[in-house]
Structures are given as C-alpha cells and as structure tokens.
Amino acid sequence: MSNFKSLGIPADLIKSLDEMGIHKPTPVQAQSIPYLLEKGHDFVGQAQTGTGKTAAFGLPLLTKVSGNKKHIQALILSPTRELAKQIGKALFKFTKYADEKTFVEVVAGGDKIDLQVSRLQRPTQIVVATPGRLFDLLKRKALSIDHVQYLILDEADEMLSMGFKQQIRTAIELTANRKATWLFSATFPPVLKELVKGCMAPEPKTVKIDSTRVVNRDIDHRYAVCVKEDKTDFISDFLERQGEKRGLIFCRTKDGCSILGKQLAKRDFSVDVLQGDLTQPERDKVMRAFKKERTQFLIATDVAARGIDVEGLSFVVHHHLPEQVEMYTHRSGRTARAGKKGMSLVLIDPREQKRLDTISRELGVHFGPA
C-alpha cells in the first residue's frame, strides 16, 4: 500500500497532510504524483470530481515553484469561484510547514477586482483563477503570465461547457514558454482534444481512473421507489430521522429546488436553496450559513453545486436520478469524506428501476432498499 512518503512527497508537506487528516493517497494521487514530481512534463488526468485531484497536482507543483522568484510561475485555471477558492485554501494548508514560503493568490469573479489588483502587486508564485476574471485582470495589465512555467487546467470539460473556450485558448497562447501543461478533466470530449492539440505533447502521460474505482467505498447506497407526489413527504420523514446530521439534496431544476425548499421550510426544517439565479452575494450568504452549520440541509441543482466542498455531510439525497452515471459519482461523493461513513439515497419512479440497475452495474455498487 503506497503512502505519500513512498510517492516522493517531501516531509514538510507530509506533516501538513497528516494535520489535515490525509494519510493515504487516492488512486489518482498514487498514479499521478510520481510522474509529476520526477518528470513534470505534459500530463492528462481523467478522473471524477472529489477523487483528490487538487493534491494530485498541487503537491508536485509546490516542489517545482521557487519562493525566491517573485514572478508568477504557475497558473491554475478553474471553472468556478468556489473551486478556485478551495484549491487556493488547500495549497495554503499544504505549505504550513514548508521551509520556503510559496505565495498563492486566488482571483475569481464575484470578488472586488480592485482588491485583487492590489494583492497582485505583492510577490506571487502561483495564481488560481477563473477564466473570466483572469482576462479582466490581463486587460488591466494587473498581472503578467509571461513567465509561467506550469499551466494547470482543472475541470477542463466544465470550463468548456461554461463557455470559456476562447479564454483557455488565450491562456495557452500567453504561456507559450511554459515547461508543461497539466490537464485534469472528468471527461475528454472531442472539443477538448481539439483545443489542446498542438499545445501539449502528441502523446502526453495519461492517467485514467476507472469509474468503478472512484466511487467511495465508505458510502452506503440506498434507494426508495416513490412517485412524484409522495417525494416531499418521504424526504420530510427521512430528514426527521436524521437528528443533527447534515446533508445535501439534489434536484434536477431550479424550480424543483425552490418548491422543495419552500415545502420543507414550512415544515420547520433548517433548509436553504442554492440555484443559478442567485447573485454572488446571495450565494455566498447561503454557503457561509451551511458551512458554519447554521443551516442543516442544503438543496441544490448540479450546476449550482459545482465546486462545493463542505466537510461533515452525513448523506446525499437524489430527488431525481441524475441524467448521467458520472453525475451520480459526483453527487454522492459529497458525503463520506476523510474516512467517514455516509449515505447516498436515490428516489426513483417505478419506471426508473432499469436506469438504477445501469448505474449499479457501471459503478460496481449495490443499492439496498431505504
């Protein structure tokens, strides 16, 4: 069984990992870190969200940038503000005991750009950015990425689906003198292959984590057959039995989230709703309350939940079956973090049994009755 020391991670970073409760590498970390540490050339990691990709690229990256050099040496592009902040926070924690301090700046939409401009005047070795905000800052000449040695594209397929193709292409062009591009993505659609053709080695080192290996084995998978009209009552009864446990409920649409949120609030549940129509301040307020445990349950769409990472969630409820098998892994992976147990409960219409069987077969998981 590999550990971080056997992968080549320096002792000062391992000390931070131990303090964070991270002791055992995930499959994507075990397969990526040795290559990125030793070679560090162009790399493709194909794995779902929640499989430990941040440490897979973050730990090797921290060994390759120098705190003695004052310019930006690495650029990490991320699709959402939440994910960018999550990456920045992780890198900061990783370096707690480092002999040489590495400065990381997170620049994302939704935050005051003037404050970001001011912070970028300080020596900064790594920038974590959302594509839109990066180019706002480049237009203002608030930062230079001419000396970037490592370009990391995290959740690359998500960035493309959100319309950032041109921004990614420009980032690739503006960092033409870099040593390597590290690309991490859950899927690898043709448009992504076309985008990176010519900017990476013809056959970059590739690590692909099979879907059956990324499902957390600490998750108890359950299902309940439930017609649409009875779902609110079923969820209400389920939440009543959870005591002080906290969880996330996924709905397919914004309207579905809002309706369920109002219904549960009327029944005096501590619940809030996260969906795409919220302004950034409203979204921040909802997430702050949930993370600080002032709200017990959060209802969200898949799109609104991108980049969310909340510790200590005991369960995930799927109000509807997700459209894609990969999305089930993505959703259920919000529980059972850091070695803890968790439950993933799916509510299915009687006609959806075959689709549930497909998810069970493709992911290699067993769904027991709730």
The structure's pTM equals: 0.79
| Cβ atoms of residues 73 and 149 within 8 Å | yes
Say if residue 328's pLDDT is above 80.
Answer: yes
Q: What is the pLDDT of residue 147?
A: 95
Nearest to 92 by CA among 81, 79, 105: 105
Q: Tell me: do 184 and 220 sit in the same domain.
A: no
Angle separating helix axes 325-332 and 353-363, nearest 10 degrees: 70
What pLDDT is recorded for position 209?
82
Read off the CATH number of the domain in which 71 is found.
3.40.50.300
User: What does the pLDDT average to over 313-328?
Assistant: 89
Residue 218 pLDDT: 86
Same domain, 155 and 296: no
Do 204 and 219 fall into the same domain? Answer: no
The span from the CA of 47 to the CA of 54, in Å, is 11
Q: What is the pLDDT of residues 250-283, one digit of tens each?
A: 999 999 999 999 999 999 999 999 987 888 889 8
Show the tokens assigned to 192.
């992504």
End-to-end CA distance of the chain: 34
* Domain shared by 189 and 290, yes or no: no
b/e burial code for range 276-285 (CB count within 10 A of at least 16 → b): eebeeeebee
The total number of structural domains that make up the chain: 2
What pLDDT shows up at residue 2? 81
Q: Report, as an integer, the average pLDDT of 218-236.
A: 95
Of 209, 236, 268, the residue at which a domain comes to its end is: 209
DSSP per position, 329-347: HHHHTTSS-TT--EEEEEE
Q: What digits encode the pLDDT tens for the residues 139-174? A: 999 999 999 999 999 999 889 888 899 999 999 999
Q: Quote the tokens at residue 44.
A: 């493709």
Q: Please tell me whether residues 336 and 268 are part of one structural domain.
A: yes
pLDDT tens per residue across span 111-130: 899 999 999 999 999 999 99
Which residue intervals of 75-153 are DSSP H helices? 81-94, 113-119, 131-139
